[in-house]
Amino acid sequence: MTQADRADRTTAPERGEESGPATAGRPGGFLGLRDWGRDGRGSTTWRRGLVVAALAVLTTALLAFHAEAPNSVGNLGSLLETFLPWLGLAVPVLLVPALLRRSATALIALLLPVAVWLNLFGGLLTDKSGGSGDFTVVSHNVAAANTDVPGTIRGLVDSGAQIVALQELAGKPLRAYETGLAGAYPYHAVEGTVGLWSKYPIDGVSPVDLKMGWTRAFRAQVTTPQGPVAVYVAHLPSVRLKAEGGFTVAQRDVSAQALGDAIEAERVKKVLLLGDLNGTMNDRSLAPVTSQMRSAQGAAGDGFGFSWPASFPMARIDQIMSKGGLKPVDSRTLSRDGSDHLAVAATYRYSS
């Protein structure tokens, strides 16, 4: 055997090892998770996925500083705040390319929106209901084009609520609600297109001027066994998406201010607000109301309690709020009926 032959026999296993399937720099395992070193172009795990990391930082900024988003262009700030919880979906969407790129930078960046989202909405993920209550209230935009008025009436009666507020009442359906609810609720008041039904006496009914030119809100005093409660029923103007104006909220904002002023001037200590506010608790435009009242869903609900649209709820624009000596102990949505909104319900306990 020549010296050249011996050299070939010595180096052959080394060549075989080099030709194995798991060479350095090549991905191994699912999505390459066993090899996060340099890729074929020499990029390290810290230099890859910078675009994904930048998008994660942008998502974080939108969540953390949503109040700074301007409303001057199409009222985009209010639009963002209406659907703010859904920004969390950016995390699983961005996680896929972060893993495919085997980017440690992108994965670390994705922790930022997760942390901010949990800080904003993590408290809504747990069931905060507890204890017994003294009375239950329901608010429902029954929709002028309701496809099942009798079914809606049955659902309201079966809710067991002592106080029921309805919006979008008009014409023949209004008469149906008055007739169908009379047996369970001996007291009721209707002003414009909003109404209140109660097992307790109602008096002191007066319209609240929302600066719209017709009545879509009123104040009433309900005499409960534990004393008087001022109840406001409201349906703020609808928010519109217009080609020339973007997310149009001007009239809604004016009405929100008027409603907030009326509630602030209320002299009865225990106050309830029931209605379709066409905005979420995150929407800055509802601050004249939300800054002085407590959301039943936020305090005693389980989850987000989205109420609209009923076919696939994406936002809670139907609200039950209180201030004074009323403690919410439960908040929920009711089953879908013929409306494009879900009814919302809350149970309260009197407190000092």
Q: Beta strands of the chain (E only): which ranges?
A: 135-141, 163-167, 187-191, 194-198, 202-207, 217-224, 227-235, 240-242, 246-248, 271-276, 294-295, 318-323, 326-333, 344-350
> What is the distance in angstroms between the CA of the first residue and the CA of the last residue of the chain?
104
327 close to 126: Cβ distance less than 8 angstroms = no
Task: Count Cβ atoms within 10 A of the Cβ of residue 306 and give its class: 0-12 exposed, 13-18 middle, 19 or more buried.
Answer: buried
309 close to 276: Cβ distance less than 8 angstroms = no
> Which tokens hold the place of 76?
């985009």
> Which tokens hold the place of 117?
């989202």
330 close to 133: Cβ distance less than 8 angstroms = yes
pLDDT digits (tens, 9 = 90+) for 163-221: 999 999 988 999 999 999 999 999 999 999 999 999 999 999 999 999 999 999 999 99
Residue at token pair 């993590």: 122
| pTM of the model as a whole | 0.84
Say how far apart CA 351 and CA 23 lie, in whole Å: 70
Comparing 6-10, 43-47, 71-75, 135-139, which segment has the lowest mean pLDDT?
Answer: 6-10
pLDDT at position 5? 54
167 close to 140: Cβ distance less than 8 angstroms = yes
| CA distances from residue 262 to 113, 188, 195, 282 in whole angstroms, order as listed | 38, 21, 18, 21
Say how far apart CA 289 and CA 237 lie, in whole Å: 15
Say how far apart CA 180 and CA 314 lie, in whole Å: 30
pLDDT digits (tens, 9 = 90+) for 94-140: 999 999 999 999 999 999 999 999 999 999 999 999 888 999 999 99
Q: At what angle do helices 171-181 and 149-158 cross, to 10 degrees?
A: 30
- pLDDT of residue 146 exceeding 50: yes
52 close to 94: Cβ distance less than 8 angstroms = yes
